[in-house]
Amino acid sequence: MKVHLIGMKSGLGLVSLSAAGLLFMAGSGATLRATDSPVEDITAVSAKVSSDYVRTRLANGSYPVEFYAFGDGGHYGGPMVDETIDPLTFSDVAHVIAKPLANQNYLPAKDPAKTKLVIMVYWGLTFVPEAISSSSAYNNFSSIQTKIAQTQNLAKAIAAGSSSGKATGFHSANANEGLRDDQMADLSSATTLLTMVNEQRDQVNFATAKLLGYDYDDAIGTELGNYLRGTALSAKRDDLISEIEDNRYFVVLMAYDFQLMWKKKQHKLFWETRFSIRQRHHAFDKDLPIMADYASRYFGQDTRGLVRKPVPLGHVDVGPLESLGVVSGK
């Protein structure tokens, strides 16, 4: 059986969803061992659900089974070589995520006719721009400020030592008073360049926030977020910024209506779950199972914001998985 699907728009850009990118698998067993690592870190989860998707629990408290196929969304490479994530294939990542999905009664499909979802899988490492204090714009601004200060101090010293004892315009509370035209021009140019660098950094942070689900309450990259700077409410924003300004491993799952795409070549997003953890002190291949296990409680659910909790990272033994193959097609 051939399956022909169309390209779709997703939160990560245009996805070319071809039949060759669909993975059908058989289920497997897995066990979660007691935590064997002392490291705890913030695992952030953000999940949203379409109003068209409703999942009601059965009388025994479990969810009804829904069958799915995986779609390869792709690996988003980070700014550095990372041997714990770079060598991993789509199949490697999908196999690990299959077990947490099964815990929520999302089971791998064997028959396209009975498949409800195609779950696109994206994974990678975020890009973090260099620190402002390391930028050439900041260094230039600091250099100009230092030169101006040295000039002012020299002028003050000369004035203090003069017989009149009067300074030459440098006693003002306004640091810019008494500057020569060329100094004012240099300072204005440096300030403008530094502002541009800051704005570019804000744009990168906003893109990262959207990718990881940190943009849930408009605290980053919006007029509201900018307004919060320097206010009593800025602590929350600063916490979020500090987290996304660390490189973070991430996984994004986006579940679409399989039958609608298969039969009508249309796409409808049912639910999405985004989860991440900082890269420092962690290894993606080792930590992915426990991250996915923690995030699985939100598969097909709505977190109504960003959930950030310290999660003890242990070890998950994923049993052998049998691939039923990639669907052939154009």
Q: List, for residues 137-183, the tens digit of each pLDDT value.
A: 667 777 777 877 777 676 666 666 654 444 444 344 445 556 777 77
**Helix, strand, coil percentages in the chain from 3-state DSSP, rounded to 5:** 35, 25, 40
Give the per-residue pLDDT at 257. Answer: 97
- Break the chain into its structural domains and give their ranges: 8-128+247-326, 132-212
Neighbour count for residue 169 (Cβ, 10 Å): 12
- Residue with the bigger pLDDT between 20 and 236: it is 236
DSSP for 149-183, written as a single string:
HHHHHHHHHHHHTSSS---SS--SS-TTTT--HHH
Average pLDDT of the residues in 301-320: 74
- Residue with the bigger pLDDT between 246 and 228: it is 246
What's the rounded Cα separation, in Å, for the pair 29 and 32?
10
Token pair 């829904």: residue: 66
What is the identity of the amino acid at 180? R
Rg (alpha carbons) of the chain, rounded to whole number? 27
Is residue 50 classed as helix, strand or coil in its secondary structure?
coil
Enter the tokens of residue 40: 């705890």
Q: For residue 317, give the H/E element and its range.
A: strand 315-318
Token pair 């792709």: residue: 74
pLDDT reading at 184 higher than 90 = no
CA nearest 23: which of 110, 102, 96? Answer: 110
201 confidence band (pLDDT: 50, 70, 90) = confident
What's the rounded Cα separation, in Å, for the pair 179 and 148?
8
69 confidence band (pLDDT: 50, 70, 90) = very high
CA nearest 208: which of 276, 106, 158? Answer: 276
Percent of the chain's residues with pLDDT above 70: 67
| Mean of per-residue pLDDT scores for the chain | 77
Q: List, for residues 107-144, the tens digit of each pLDDT value.
A: 999 899 999 999 999 999 998 876 666 667 667 777 77
What's the rounded Cα separation, in Å, for the pair 196 and 192?
6
Beta bridge partners of 315: 33
Q: Decide: 17 and 261 in contact? Cβ < 8 Å.
A: yes
What's the rounded Cα separation, in Å, for the pair 233 and 322?
51
Q: Decide: 41 and 278 in contact? Cβ < 8 Å.
A: yes
Q: How many residues does the chain have?
A: 330
CA nearest 104: which of 44, 59, 55, 69? Answer: 55
Sequence-distant (6+) residues with CB within 8 A of 9 are 15, 267
Q: List, for residues 79-113, the tens digit of each pLDDT value.
A: 789 999 999 999 999 999 999 999 999 999 989 99
pLDDT reading at 25 higher than 80 = no
Q: For residue 292, give the H/E element and its range.
A: helix 284-295
CB-based burial of residue 299 (10 Å sphere; 0-12 exposed, 13-18 middle, 19+ buried)?
buried
CA distance to 32, 41, 191, 228, 277, per residue, from 238 (Å): 35, 18, 23, 10, 17
What is the CATH number that goes with domain 8-128+247-326? 3.30.160
